[in-house]
Structure 1
Amino acid sequence: MKKSLRDKSIEAQMAIALQLMKRKNHQAIAKTGNKITMEQLVVLEILKTNGDMNMTELSKTVWKQNANITRIVDKLEKQELVERKPVQGDRRANLVSITSKGESLIKEVIPVVMEVYKDATSIITKEEEAITLNVLQKIISHLA
Protein backbone atom coordinates (compact mmCIF):
# COMPACT_ATOMS: atom_id res chain seq x y z
CA MET A 1 0.00 0.00 0.00
CA LYS A 2 1.38 3.41 -0.98
CA LYS A 3 1.86 6.10 1.64
CA SER A 4 -0.41 9.09 1.20
CA LEU A 5 0.55 12.70 1.79
CA ARG A 6 -1.23 12.37 5.13
CA ASP A 7 1.17 9.60 6.15
CA LYS A 8 4.20 11.70 5.19
CA SER A 9 3.07 14.99 6.72
CA ILE A 10 4.38 16.12 10.12
CA GLU A 11 1.18 18.13 10.52
CA ALA A 12 -0.99 15.05 9.99
CA GLN A 13 1.11 12.91 12.31
CA MET A 14 0.96 15.58 15.04
CA ALA A 15 -2.81 15.85 14.61
CA ILE A 16 -3.24 12.07 14.84
CA ALA A 17 -1.00 11.86 17.91
CA LEU A 18 -2.92 14.72 19.54
CA GLN A 19 -6.29 13.08 18.88
CA LEU A 20 -5.10 9.74 20.23
CA MET A 21 -3.66 11.39 23.36
CA LYS A 22 -6.90 13.34 23.89
CA ARG A 23 -8.90 10.12 23.60
CA LYS A 24 -6.66 8.24 26.05
CA ASN A 25 -6.72 11.16 28.50
CA HIS A 26 -10.50 11.47 28.23
CA GLN A 27 -10.90 7.77 29.02
CA ALA A 28 -8.47 7.97 31.95
CA ILE A 29 -10.11 11.11 33.38
CA ALA A 30 -13.58 9.54 33.03
CA LYS A 31 -12.42 6.65 35.22
CA THR A 32 -11.77 9.15 38.04
CA GLY A 33 -15.43 10.19 37.89
CA ASN A 34 -14.55 13.75 36.85
CA LYS A 35 -16.30 15.37 33.91
CA ILE A 36 -13.64 17.64 32.50
CA THR A 37 -11.99 17.98 29.12
CA MET A 38 -8.27 18.36 28.49
CA GLU A 39 -8.88 21.95 27.36
CA GLN A 40 -10.59 22.70 30.66
CA LEU A 41 -7.81 20.96 32.59
CA VAL A 42 -5.18 23.04 30.79
CA VAL A 43 -6.99 26.25 31.80
CA LEU A 44 -7.17 25.09 35.43
CA GLU A 45 -3.50 24.16 35.47
CA ILE A 46 -2.48 27.52 33.99
CA LEU A 47 -4.56 29.40 36.57
CA LYS A 48 -3.05 27.32 39.36
CA THR A 49 0.47 28.01 38.07
CA ASN A 50 0.08 31.70 37.11
CA GLY A 51 -2.63 32.91 39.48
CA ASP A 52 -5.59 35.06 38.50
CA MET A 53 -5.70 36.10 34.84
CA ASN A 54 -8.00 38.15 32.66
CA MET A 55 -9.64 36.49 29.68
CA THR A 56 -7.24 38.02 27.14
CA GLU A 57 -4.16 36.80 29.03
CA LEU A 58 -5.72 33.37 29.40
CA SER A 59 -6.61 33.27 25.71
CA LYS A 60 -3.04 34.08 24.67
CA THR A 61 -1.54 31.62 27.14
CA VAL A 62 -3.61 28.65 25.94
CA TRP A 63 -3.54 29.64 22.25
CA LYS A 64 -7.33 29.86 22.00
CA GLN A 65 -9.62 32.59 20.68
CA ASN A 66 -11.46 34.71 23.25
CA ALA A 67 -14.82 33.14 22.35
CA ASN A 68 -13.44 29.64 23.02
CA ILE A 69 -11.90 30.71 26.34
CA THR A 70 -15.18 32.31 27.38
CA ARG A 71 -17.01 29.05 26.67
CA ILE A 72 -14.41 27.00 28.59
CA VAL A 73 -14.45 29.38 31.58
CA ASP A 74 -18.29 29.38 31.59
CA LYS A 75 -18.29 25.58 31.86
CA LEU A 76 -15.63 25.60 34.58
CA GLU A 77 -17.56 28.26 36.48
CA LYS A 78 -20.77 26.16 36.35
CA GLN A 79 -18.80 23.32 37.96
CA GLU A 80 -17.46 25.77 40.57
CA LEU A 81 -13.88 25.07 39.49
CA VAL A 82 -13.16 28.73 38.70
CA GLU A 83 -14.72 32.04 39.59
CA ARG A 84 -14.75 35.45 37.99
CA LYS A 85 -13.68 38.35 40.19
CA PRO A 86 -14.43 41.95 39.20
CA VAL A 87 -11.47 44.28 38.65
CA GLN A 88 -11.69 47.42 40.74
CA GLY A 89 -11.98 50.52 38.61
CA ASP A 90 -13.16 48.64 35.50
CA ARG A 91 -16.75 47.41 35.63
CA ARG A 92 -16.35 45.40 32.43
CA ALA A 93 -13.18 43.53 33.39
CA ASN A 94 -12.95 40.30 35.37
CA LEU A 95 -10.12 38.14 36.58
CA VAL A 96 -10.54 34.38 36.40
CA SER A 97 -9.43 32.55 39.52
CA ILE A 98 -9.18 28.85 40.31
CA THR A 99 -11.25 27.72 43.31
CA SER A 100 -10.22 25.25 45.99
CA LYS A 101 -12.50 22.72 44.26
CA GLY A 102 -10.55 23.33 41.03
CA GLU A 103 -7.24 22.84 42.82
CA SER A 104 -8.49 19.57 44.33
CA LEU A 105 -9.53 18.35 40.90
CA ILE A 106 -6.07 19.12 39.51
CA LYS A 107 -4.41 17.16 42.31
CA GLU A 108 -6.58 14.18 41.44
CA VAL A 109 -6.48 14.32 37.64
CA ILE A 110 -2.95 15.48 36.75
CA PRO A 111 -1.32 12.22 37.97
CA VAL A 112 -3.76 10.26 35.77
CA VAL A 113 -2.87 12.39 32.74
CA MET A 114 0.84 12.05 33.49
CA GLU A 115 0.43 8.27 33.60
CA VAL A 116 -1.12 8.36 30.10
CA TYR A 117 1.83 10.45 28.89
CA LYS A 118 4.30 8.10 30.57
CA ASP A 119 2.67 5.11 28.88
CA ALA A 120 2.55 6.84 25.48
CA THR A 121 6.24 7.74 25.61
CA SER A 122 7.41 4.46 27.13
CA ILE A 123 8.30 3.17 23.66
CA ILE A 124 10.79 5.94 22.90
CA THR A 125 14.14 6.76 24.46
CA LYS A 126 14.78 9.88 26.55
CA GLU A 127 16.93 11.14 23.67
CA GLU A 128 14.11 10.67 21.15
CA GLU A 129 11.72 12.42 23.52
CA ALA A 130 14.11 15.38 23.89
CA ILE A 131 14.63 15.62 20.12
CA THR A 132 10.88 15.48 19.45
CA LEU A 133 10.20 18.15 22.04
CA ASN A 134 12.95 20.35 20.60
CA VAL A 135 11.61 20.00 17.04
CA LEU A 136 8.04 20.76 18.12
CA GLN A 137 9.20 23.82 20.08
CA LYS A 138 11.02 25.08 16.97
CA ILE A 139 7.88 24.67 14.87
CA ILE A 140 5.77 26.43 17.50
CA SER A 141 8.25 29.32 17.79
CA HIS A 142 8.35 29.69 14.02
CA LEU A 143 4.56 29.72 13.65
CA ALA A 144 3.86 31.91 16.68
Structure 2
Amino acid sequence: MQFKDPSETIFYQIEKAIKQYRTMAQGNLNVLGYNVTINQILLMIQIKRQADITQVELANLLFKDVASITRMIELLVRENLIERAENKNDRRKKDLKITKKGEILLEQAIPIISKNRAIAQKNMSKEEVQNLFKLLNKIIINTSKK
Protein backbone atom coordinates (compact mmCIF):
# COMPACT_ATOMS: atom_id res chain seq x y z
CA MET A 1 0.00 0.00 0.00
CA GLN A 2 1.36 3.38 -1.02
CA PHE A 3 1.68 6.01 1.72
CA LYS A 4 -0.80 8.82 1.03
CA ASP A 5 -0.34 12.46 1.84
CA PRO A 6 -2.20 13.00 5.15
CA SER A 7 -4.62 15.42 3.50
CA GLU A 8 -5.78 12.61 1.21
CA THR A 9 -6.92 10.33 4.05
CA ILE A 10 -10.33 9.91 5.65
CA PHE A 11 -8.78 10.81 9.01
CA TYR A 12 -7.78 14.22 7.69
CA GLN A 13 -11.32 14.74 6.40
CA ILE A 14 -12.83 13.64 9.71
CA GLU A 15 -10.57 16.02 11.65
CA LYS A 16 -11.28 18.85 9.22
CA ALA A 17 -15.04 18.26 9.48
CA ILE A 18 -14.91 18.27 13.29
CA LYS A 19 -12.85 21.47 13.42
CA GLN A 20 -15.13 23.20 10.91
CA TYR A 21 -18.23 22.11 12.81
CA ARG A 22 -16.78 23.32 16.14
CA THR A 23 -15.86 26.69 14.64
CA MET A 24 -19.39 27.15 13.29
CA ALA A 25 -21.00 25.89 16.51
CA GLN A 26 -18.91 28.15 18.73
CA GLY A 27 -19.65 31.15 16.54
CA ASN A 28 -23.37 30.47 16.76
CA LEU A 29 -23.19 30.09 20.55
CA ASN A 30 -21.20 33.31 20.94
CA VAL A 31 -24.24 35.36 19.87
CA LEU A 32 -25.82 34.52 23.23
CA GLY A 33 -23.27 36.80 24.90
CA TYR A 34 -22.02 34.29 27.47
CA ASN A 35 -18.34 33.60 27.96
CA VAL A 36 -18.59 29.82 27.46
CA THR A 37 -17.27 27.24 25.04
CA ILE A 38 -19.16 24.49 23.29
CA ASN A 39 -17.36 21.99 25.54
CA GLN A 40 -18.57 23.83 28.65
CA ILE A 41 -22.14 23.72 27.34
CA LEU A 42 -21.80 19.98 26.66
CA LEU A 43 -20.46 19.51 30.21
CA MET A 44 -23.46 21.41 31.61
CA ILE A 45 -25.86 19.27 29.58
CA GLN A 46 -24.32 16.11 31.06
CA ILE A 47 -24.56 17.51 34.60
CA LYS A 48 -28.21 18.41 34.03
CA ARG A 49 -28.98 14.93 32.67
CA GLN A 50 -27.16 13.05 35.40
CA ALA A 51 -26.90 14.93 38.70
CA ASP A 52 -24.56 12.40 40.33
CA ILE A 53 -22.09 12.22 37.44
CA THR A 54 -18.41 12.18 38.46
CA GLN A 55 -15.60 14.22 36.97
CA VAL A 56 -14.04 11.01 35.66
CA GLU A 57 -17.29 10.13 33.87
CA LEU A 58 -17.50 13.67 32.47
CA ALA A 59 -13.91 13.37 31.23
CA ASN A 60 -14.70 10.11 29.45
CA LEU A 61 -17.90 11.46 27.87
CA LEU A 62 -16.23 14.63 26.62
CA PHE A 63 -12.90 13.04 25.60
CA LYS A 64 -10.97 15.24 28.06
CA ASP A 65 -8.62 14.57 30.92
CA VAL A 66 -9.84 15.07 34.50
CA ALA A 67 -7.65 18.17 34.94
CA SER A 68 -9.37 19.83 31.95
CA ILE A 69 -12.79 18.97 33.39
CA THR A 70 -11.74 20.45 36.74
CA ARG A 71 -10.69 23.71 35.01
CA MET A 72 -13.94 23.82 33.04
CA ILE A 73 -15.96 23.32 36.23
CA GLU A 74 -13.99 26.05 38.00
CA LEU A 75 -14.72 28.50 35.17
CA LEU A 76 -18.42 27.60 35.16
CA VAL A 77 -18.60 28.08 38.93
CA ARG A 78 -16.93 31.51 38.57
CA GLU A 79 -19.47 32.43 35.88
CA ASN A 80 -22.27 31.30 38.27
CA LEU A 81 -23.49 28.73 35.74
CA ILE A 82 -23.01 25.72 38.01
CA GLU A 83 -22.66 25.19 41.75
CA ARG A 84 -20.23 22.81 43.39
CA ALA A 85 -20.95 21.43 46.87
CA GLU A 86 -19.46 18.77 49.08
CA ASN A 87 -21.19 15.42 48.79
CA LYS A 88 -22.98 14.57 52.04
CA ASN A 89 -22.07 10.87 51.83
CA ASP A 90 -18.50 11.14 50.53
CA ARG A 91 -16.45 14.24 51.33
CA ARG A 92 -13.99 13.40 48.54
CA LYS A 93 -16.75 13.87 45.94
CA LYS A 94 -18.31 17.10 44.79
CA ASP A 95 -21.94 17.49 43.80
CA LEU A 96 -22.51 19.63 40.72
CA LYS A 97 -25.73 21.46 40.00
CA ILE A 98 -26.85 23.87 37.29
CA THR A 99 -27.72 27.33 38.64
CA LYS A 100 -30.72 29.39 37.52
CA LYS A 101 -28.38 31.40 35.27
CA GLY A 102 -27.07 28.10 33.89
CA GLU A 103 -30.60 26.85 33.24
CA ILE A 104 -31.35 30.03 31.26
CA LEU A 105 -28.18 29.54 29.22
CA LEU A 106 -29.07 25.92 28.44
CA GLU A 107 -32.60 26.91 27.41
CA GLN A 108 -31.04 29.32 24.92
CA ALA A 109 -28.15 27.09 23.83
CA ILE A 110 -29.91 23.78 23.19
CA PRO A 111 -31.98 25.08 20.24
CA ILE A 112 -28.78 26.54 18.75
CA ILE A 113 -26.99 23.20 19.15
CA SER A 114 -29.92 21.43 17.47
CA LYS A 115 -29.79 23.95 14.61
CA ASN A 116 -26.01 23.50 14.29
CA ARG A 117 -26.47 19.75 13.95
CA ALA A 118 -29.18 20.23 11.34
CA ILE A 119 -26.95 22.63 9.36
CA ALA A 120 -24.06 20.16 9.45
CA GLN A 121 -26.28 17.28 8.25
CA LYS A 122 -28.11 19.28 5.59
CA ASN A 123 -28.49 17.39 2.30
CA MET A 124 -27.67 14.11 4.03
CA SER A 125 -30.28 11.38 3.91
CA LYS A 126 -31.19 9.36 6.99
CA GLU A 127 -29.51 6.39 5.35
CA GLU A 128 -26.29 8.37 4.74
CA VAL A 129 -26.21 9.48 8.38
CA GLN A 130 -26.79 5.89 9.55
CA ASN A 131 -24.05 4.59 7.22
CA LEU A 132 -21.61 7.24 8.39
CA PHE A 133 -22.40 6.35 11.99
CA LYS A 134 -21.74 2.65 11.25
CA LEU A 135 -18.48 3.40 9.44
CA LEU A 136 -17.19 5.63 12.22
CA ASN A 137 -18.09 2.96 14.75
CA LYS A 138 -16.03 0.47 12.72
CA ILE A 139 -13.02 2.78 13.02
CA ILE A 140 -13.64 3.09 16.77
CA ILE A 141 -13.83 -0.70 17.16
CA ASN A 142 -10.77 -1.29 14.94
CA THR A 143 -8.67 1.16 16.91
CA SER A 144 -9.90 -0.03 20.31
CA LYS A 145 -8.50 -3.53 19.89
CA LYS A 146 -5.57 -4.34 22.12
1:53 and 1:97 in contact (8 A); partners too:
no
Going by fraction, where is strand more abundant, 1 or 2? 1
Distance 1:82 1:138, change over 3 A: farther
- Structure 1: gaps of 5 or more residues: none
| 1:55–1:35 Cα change, 3 Å | same
Shift of 1:8: 2.8
Counterpart position of 1:101: 101
SS of 2:92 mapped into structure 1: strand
Match of 1:69 in 2: 69
Q: Cα distance, 1:52 vs. partner?
A: 3.1
- Cα deviation, residue 112, structure 1: 1.0
% of aligned pairs identical?
A: 27
Q: Matched residues in 2 for 1:89 and 1:119: separation? A: 44
The root-mean-square deviation of aligned C-alpha atoms, in Å, is 1.8
Q: Look up the match of 2:43.
A: 43
* AA aligned opposite 2:76: L
Q: What does the per-residue CA deviation read over 1:58-111, in whole Å, with 9 as the maximum and x for residues that have no partner?
A: 222222111110111111111111111102254332122222221221110111
In terms of mean alpha carbon deviation, does 83-92 or 69-78 score higher?
A: 83-92
Note if 1:86 corresponds to 2:115. no
Once the two structures are TM-superposed, the CA of residue 11 in structure 1 deviates from its matched residue by 1.8
Contact 1:55 1:66 in 2 (8 A): yes
Greater relative contact order (Cα < 8 A, sep 6+):
1
- Where in structure 2 are the equivalents of 1:1-144 lying within 5 Å? 5-143=5-143
In the aligned structure 2, how far is the partner of 1:97 from the partner of 1:140?
A: 32
CA gap of 1:60–1:120, structure 2 versus 1, over 3 A, is: closer
Q: Deviations over 1:13-46 (max 9, x none)?
A: 1111111011101111112222211110110111
Deviation at 1:117, TM superposition (A): 1.5
TM-score by length of 2: 0.85
Question: Residues 20 and 80 of structure 1: is their aligned pair in 2 closer, same or farther, counting only changes over 3 Å?
Answer: same
